[in-house]
Amino acid sequence: MTTQSAGGTPATALTDRVRTLLDEPNYATLATVGEDGTPHQAVIWYRLDPDERVLVNSRFPRRWPRELQRDGRASLAVTDLADPMRWVGLQAVVETVIEDVDRAREDIVALAHRYGDDSEETRARFRDQPRISFRLRVVGAHDHLEE
């Protein structure tokens, strides 16, 4: 496991309604910054941990994990599956990079369970892949969750 300095930006406390949406297995669109400054987006699974850090995981090497390792800044948009006009936007920084492949594999298996894709075949496939996980500290949040 590698811990990165994330510029010391303090975490933003999440409101109850934001936390409620993030606790559901909705999909996130993760945006990272390319080496030339261009944005890149990917739809991902995520988990909000009790300490309000966001865990994300990817097969390695893919573009967005390489960009997160290089730059450390990310933006996420999480939409409500039941009503896509309800959504949360998060600005985040990498707090921890989990390069331990075994631990990262367990992270993706846990995410697969969260998203209802935890068959024996899926677990076996994920446990055979090179994986990397990131814990992101939320430094800004806004929502469109009007009730």
CATH number of the domain that residue 110 is part of = 2.30.110.10
**Rounded to an integer, what distance in angstroms lies between the CA atom of residue 147 and that of residue 2?**
41
**Rounded to an integer, what distance in angstroms lies between the CA atom of residue 146 and that of residue 84?**
12
In a domain, 60, yes or no: yes
The mean pLDDT of 52-79, rounded to a whole number, is: 96
In a domain, 75, yes or no: yes
In a domain, 59, yes or no: yes
**Rounded to an integer, what distance in angstroms lies between the CA atom of residue 42 and that of residue 32?**
9
In a domain, 106, yes or no: yes
In a domain, 48, yes or no: yes
The mean pLDDT of 36-58, rounded to a whole number, is: 97
Cβ neighbours of 141 (radius 10 Å)? 19
**Rounded to an integer, what distance in angstroms lies between the CA atom of residue 66 and that of residue 133?**
11
In a domain, 101, yes or no: yes
For the ranges 47-56, 114-123, 134-143, the lowest mean pLDDT is seen at: 114-123
Range of the domain at 68: 2-142
Q: Give residue-wise pLDDT tens across range 115-124.
A: 999 889 988 8
The mean pLDDT of 13-19, rounded to a whole number, is: 95
pLDDT of 6 strictly over 60:
no
CA-only gyration radius of the chain, Å: 15
106: enclosing H helix or E strand: helix 101-114
Average pLDDT of the chain, as a whole number:
93
The mean pLDDT of 97-118, rounded to a whole number, is: 95
In a domain, 50, yes or no: yes
In a domain, 147, yes or no: no
> Which residues are CB-contacts of 47 (< 8 A; sequence separation ≥ 6)?
54, 55, 110, 111, 114
Share of residues in the chain with pLDDT > 70 (%): 95
Q: How many domains does the chain have?
A: 1
pLDDT of 24 strictly over 70:
yes
pLDDT of 4 strictly over 70:
no
76: enclosing H helix or E strand: strand 73-80
